[in-house]
Structure 1
């Protein structure tokens, strides 16, 4: 059973790497990233290709995630009515803030964007980069979530996200542990995260954590805008709107059920 578990773990680990990078990767890069033997990684990848979860470029032999997994996630979201239930809240925050609003869900210690709403119009629209998985140490959403953890756990996840390593992020990216820990303290004190030209140049964001009544953080709500529009007063204003929107989302999340439970006879269960 231990061998089977190991194979399953390696399979999902490879899928996560390909999903996080969102690009074609060499076999050697995948194996090195996960500290796997290349022969073992090759066997898992061959199986995933055969099942249609991964594609291999015939010219380069590079591997990339197919659309099968994202399509499954989309079908689940539709079946669970997530867009129907949560979208009105996003639309409201976008309308009131007149900016781009993004909702990220927390799963497996990662934040993944699952929905958005655009409140800006015309030339005011912010065309920011969309990260499949948010870089925790340079995003407002990542900071506000990490601020809810113990400092040891937060630092561990920030380092795994790329803190202190050369990255292709914005010019104001925090690069030292000392400054990052100070930023976490500031985030915890104000209650929402701020990132100005950290994830990408000329773009900023504020974000609040979506915390259920049981105290569980399930996601984050971010308001994204061009950095030149984010003066201190505007940051405070958007921070309050993000907090209000996150509180409203917390009342709806998690969904109590995907669909109404039914009995064998088709009657609604009590």
Structure 2
């Protein structure tokens, strides 16, 4: 009973905090007394909520010390979403053409915590009964997209992101030394390949999408059944993929001076 009560109080606090943000969005700025009246709570409760939001940069005090406005922390959160939307918007027409040219499935993925989050997908003519990866979190070490995203990290960040390396098939890389060597190869050649590493019978190749600073912010892949993507076919697909990824990177500002 105590746990349920605590959970209810936590949810109520979240609801009140969101109400404060909405109120500040409407009014531009407000004092604790005004916010308490909006919420129908005691001024001390409103102050604690505002103080918590302020500690996370979601609200900030104005020059008039008694008032608050939305903080730059919200801009950082919005910026992360905007960046993902920009990637999808710029990549979508290129992905569709690449899917048409290769006949296979094309995906765009970004790093999300310790996984690759698939943002968008385009299917080619050969992709019968295609699996929809959009919105799914996929292991980094066992996928071509994941290897590309990992290759863009500095050593410290790589250590933070890498957890255990479970085996999904006999072909999955499960040793850190072997994975690091693989990532060095990705950096050198500009693309990654995963054959039967996540699922037996699934092959994928991926290339980086870069922003105007040259940072790897996403990955684009072409995937299909291993029987159709043999060594010779993969070499053909890689050329088309790298060219398409370079085009998206250019659209995102990479190489602009």
Fold conserved (TM > 0.5)?
yes
The answer for the alignment partner of 1:223 in structure 2 is 222
Could you list the per-position Cα deviations for residues 13-71 of structure 1 after superposition, in whole angstroms to 9, with x for gaps in the alignment? xxxxxxxxxxxxxxxxxxxxxxxxx99995687559989xxxxxxxxxxxxxxxxxxxx
What is the aligned-residue RMSD (CA, Å)? 3.5
| Cα separation, 2, equivalents of 1:223 and 1:44 | 47
| Cα separation, 2, equivalents of 1:221 and 1:125 | 20
| Cα separation, 2, equivalents of 1:196 and 1:41 | 48
Q: CA deviation at 1:120?
A: 2.7
Could you list the per-position Cα deviations for residues 236-261 of structure 1 after superposition, in whole angstroms to 9, with x for gaps in the alignment? 2222222111111123337xxxxxxx
1:47-66 correspondence runs (5 A): none
* Preserved contact between residue 194 and residue 204 of structure 1 (Cα < 8 Å): yes
1:103 to 101, 108, 111: 108
1:149-188 correspondence runs (5 A): 149-159=153-163, 162-163=164-165, 166=166, 169-188=168-187
| Cα separation, 2, equivalents of 1:103 and 1:82 | 8
Paired positions, count: 186
Q: CA deviation at 1:217?
A: 1.7
C-alpha change, 1:172 and 1:43, in structure 2 (3 Å) is farther
TM-score by length of 2: 0.60
Could you list the per-position Cα deviations for residues 85-123 of structure 1 after superposition, in whole angstroms to 9, with x for gaps in the alignment? 4321111100111110011134556532111111133xx
The answer for the alignment partner of 2:152 in structure 1 is 148
* Preserved contact between residue 113 and residue 133 of structure 1 (Cα < 8 Å): yes
Could you list the per-position Cα deviations for residues 104-162 of structure 1 after superposition, in whole angstroms to 9, with x for gaps in the alignment? 134556532111111133xx536347371221111101101212223443244232xx4
1:229 match: secondary structure: coil
2:141 match: secondary structure: coil
C-alpha change, 1:86 and 1:178, in structure 2 (3 Å) is closer
| Cα separation, 2, equivalents of 1:241 and 1:44 | 55
The answer for the alignment partner of 2:248 in structure 1 is 249
Structure 2 spans left out of the alignment, 5+ residues: 17-77
The answer for the alignment partner of 1:201 in structure 2 is 200
Q: CA deviation at 1:197?
A: 1.1
| Bigger CA radius of gyration | 2
| Cα separation, 2, equivalents of 1:41 and 1:140 | 43
Structure 1 spans left out of the alignment, 5+ residues: 1-37, 52-72, 255-270
| Cα separation, 1, equivalents of 2:153 and 2:110 | 16
* Preserved contact between residue 106 and residue 221 of structure 2 (Cα < 8 Å): yes
